[in-house]
Structure 1
Amino acid sequence: MKFVKDSEWLLNHLNDVDVRIVDCRFSLADPQKGEINYRKNHLPGAVYFDLEKDLSGTVGDHGGRHPLPDMDVLVKKLENAGISHEISVIAYDDGEGAFAARFWWLLQYLGHSNVYVLDGGFKNWLEADLPVTPNVPTFKREDFRLDLRQELLATYEEVKDAVSKRNKVLIDSREVKRFLGIEEPIDKKAGHIPGALNKPWMEGLRGGRYLPISEQSERFANLDSTQPIIVYCGSGVTAVPNFLALKEAGFEKVKLYVGSFSDWISYEENKIESSS
């Protein structure tokens, strides 16, 4: 796969000076847990990036629960971690896939193309009895060239236009019950953006590993690969595994609505569809 590497690949490149490993473990239920676990042990040479402190911005009236971070601030953090465009980067989480994918998408958006996700994450790494360490590394500061790829980002205005004109495919990546509005454990309203299709993100993985390209293609067989696609979820995190899977399956015109459903419902005038 183009954007996913397995543990064997990483083990062979573990000591390469031009490879940087990023630990993205996080728990929405316990936001401190990821960093605490990182301090206990992590892959050798891994640096830690926190979903809410590093990979998201300040929550406001609009923008969703995990808005984009300040890009200048993020770039400085990348530079301090020794990451430049000449460095290959591979991110991992506990094996859920979504948190590492969020980092992967952000670096793609920043213009860094040599970035990957570790298949199976930390859980698979431990199960294979591969090395871990509590040692926190330091790296020489590098220069990161910011080159935003706006074609990867769907703005609120673009989503609103797509709902009105039905000229783009909207993919809701949440589980079926949330898509249908049967239950909503997080956001203030239940349902989905009008006209959206449901492609639950977790169906693109099996045991924490991404399905092979042939099976990803089957998941999206009812879609036209030439039509523009916008993926979203609740807050722009779990939609990214679908973004990655679509890219692996050969879909080129794919964008992420970072604000996602939590941003959509922050505008009182917006309509919502549900099964009720």
Structure 2
Amino acid sequence: MGYIMEKEELLPLLDSSDIRICDCRFRLGSPDAGFNEYQKDHISGAVYFDLEKDLSGQVQEHGGRHPLPDLETFKNKLESNGITNDTVLVAYDGGEGSFASRFVWLLSYLGHQKVHVLNGGYRAWKDAGYPIDSNQTNYIQTQYQIDLNQTVFASFQKVKDYTMNRVDDVVLMDSRESKRYEGIEEPIDKKAGHIPGAVNKVWSNVLENGYYKKKEDLQANFSSIGMDKEIIVYCGSGVTASPNYIALKEAGYKDVKIYIGSFSDWISYDENPIE
């Protein structure tokens, strides 16, 4: 099984002690909305992970708008929710795809082997009439060992080196909407444009009605990029790059990384060029 799990696959696993369902619903600009929705109702047995409190760290001068969380703190969050290295993790959001995908990438970076995004998100699950409730389950504290998987992580320096050398076997992929990539408009960050040399593959194009597209459609979406390339994906702050990361892996690309600081980190260095 790859990164994507269908709701029909999850349903018979609900009562398994080897699985943990992770609610990642969030609303940018309204940071309490996701947890409020979780408290109202969620997939039975699910625990909540907040994009800004759990899946991101404190914003500083550099590192972008959603930098990596403190890994020891995040490890404690996993342990307090009864998660071990062998737990099967299934993350969902409201159907946007990006918040659950951020969780999946982060756990992949920690070296977790069994982590999936629920295709269609909470909306698809609820529309199917599958079990939901408002209970907050308490799980027995566990131990979790982090084994960082550096093959999915691209540092600022690696991206900097790419812009200076432009090697043919590396592709830098900007996941933002085309108007932001082209610098026509920039509603969030203080500078407009993109990192020099980047190609534009809009993250939302890999999804349809909250579902990841079929493998052949994903392959067609990325057909201009050779399967043997090393691909570094970024967006504005490392969140919407995550669906492209998952889609590339599902399409069969082997060497895919996320530049987690993304454009908001890149422009925090005044000397960095922009196209």
**What TM-score, normalized to structure 2?**
0.98
Identity across the alignment (%): 53
- How many residue pairs get aligned? The number is 273
Letter in 1 for 2:142: E
CA-CA distance at 1:86 after TM superposition: 1.4
Which whole-Å CA distance do the structure 2 matches of 1:151 and 1:184 have between them?
31
Residue 198 in structure 1 maps to residue 200 in structure 2: yes
Spell out, residue by residue over 1:122-169, the C-alpha distance to the aligned partner (whole angstroms, 9 max, x if none). Answer: 111111122211100011111111100111110000000011111221
Alignment of 1:222-241 (within 5 A): 222-241=224-243
Query: Which residue number in structure 1 is paired with residue 187 of structure 2?
Result: 185
Query: Which residue number in structure 1 is paired with residue 68 of structure 2?
Result: 68
Let me know the Cα RMSD of the aligned residues.
0.8
Query: Which residue number in structure 2 is paired with residue 34 of structure 1?
Result: 34
Alignment of 1:57-96 (within 5 A): 57-96=57-96
Post-superposition, which runs of at least 4 consecutive aligned residues in structure 1 deviate over 4 A?
none
Which whole-Å CA distance do the structure 2 matches of 1:118 and 1:96 have between them?
11
Which whole-Å CA distance do the structure 2 matches of 1:136 and 1:142 have between them?
18
Which whole-Å CA distance do the structure 2 matches of 1:83 and 1:194 have between them?
40
Spell out, residue by residue over 1:236-275, the C-alpha distance to the aligned partner (whole angstroms, 9 max, x if none). Answer: 00001001111111111111000000000000011111xx
Query: Which residue number in structure 1 is paired with residue 211 of structure 2?
Result: 209
Letter in 2 for 1:265: I
CA-CA distance at 1:225 after TM superposition: 1.3
**What TM-score, normalized to structure 1?**
0.98
What secondary structure is seen at the aligned counterpart in 1 of 2:254?
coil
Residue in structure 1 matching 2:247, options 245, 248, 271 = 245
Which whole-Å CA distance do the structure 2 matches of 1:142 and 1:225 have between them?
39
Query: Which residue number in structure 1 is paired with residue 51 of structure 2?
Result: 51
Letter in 2 for 1:20: R
Which whole-Å CA distance do the structure 1 matches of 2:246 and 2:91 have between them?
13
Structure 2: which 5+ residue stretches go unaligned?
none
Which whole-Å CA distance do the structure 1 matches of 2:30 and 2:245 have between them?
26
Query: Which residue number in structure 2 is paired with residue 10 of structure 1?
Result: 10
Letter in 2 for 1:172: D
CA-CA distance at 1:116 after TM superposition: 0.3
Query: Which residue number in structure 2 is paired with residue 158 of structure 1?
Result: 158
What secondary structure is seen at the aligned counterpart in 2 of 1:91?
strand
Structure 1: which 5+ residue stretches go unaligned?
none
What secondary structure is seen at the aligned counterpart in 1 of 2:233?
strand
Letter in 2 for 1:26: F
CA-CA distance at 1:228 after TM superposition: 1.0
Query: Which residue number in structure 2 is paired with residue 114 of structure 1?
Result: 114
What secondary structure is seen at the aligned counterpart in 2 of 1:11?
helix
CA-CA distance at 1:88 after TM superposition: 0.4
What secondary structure is seen at the aligned counterpart in 2 of 1:241?
helix
Which whole-Å CA distance do the structure 1 matches of 2:31 and 2:183 have between them?
26
Which whole-Å CA distance do the structure 2 matches of 1:29 and 1:75 have between them?
26
